[in-house]
Amino acid sequence: MKNFMLVIAFALLAALPASAAESSEISKAAPATTLAQQTPDMTPLFAAIIHVPVPRCYTLHGTSCSSTGATTPCTDACNYNLSCTCQNYYGGPYGTTLIGRYWICDYEC
């Protein structure tokens, strides 16, 4: 892991432009691009390195959610890939009052 991080660090250093102090000529004109524009976007690289684990279905089931019909992946104890769906729950004397939205997950093994 240390070697991998070292390779990433050297790749980032190689991608950065040389500073004006190291160059043999110092330009008096304003730079055409900023450092932020010259530095490559590393988001896809770090997104591939950082792994966010899929939550267990039993930890999501019955918890609140924000938009009806939304889905989210989850796994069960057998490591099957399942999903949870956000559903409305109604109550009150006539069953017409919205109580809340909750995750309802697929049947687990």
End-to-end Cα distance, the chain: 35
Q: Is the pTM of this model over 0.75?
A: no
Two tokens, residue 34: 């900023």
**Residues 16 and 36 sit within 8 Å (Cβ to Cβ):** no
Q: Any idea which of 18-27, 38-47, 50-59, 74-83 has the lowest mean pLDDT?
A: 18-27
- Write the pLDDT tens digit of every residue in 21-50: 455 555 565 556 666 666 666 666 665 677
Collapsing DSSP to helix, strand or coil, 88 comes out as: strand
Domain boundaries, the chain: 57-105
Contacts for 61 with CB less than 8 Å, ≥ 6 apart: 84, 103, 104, 105
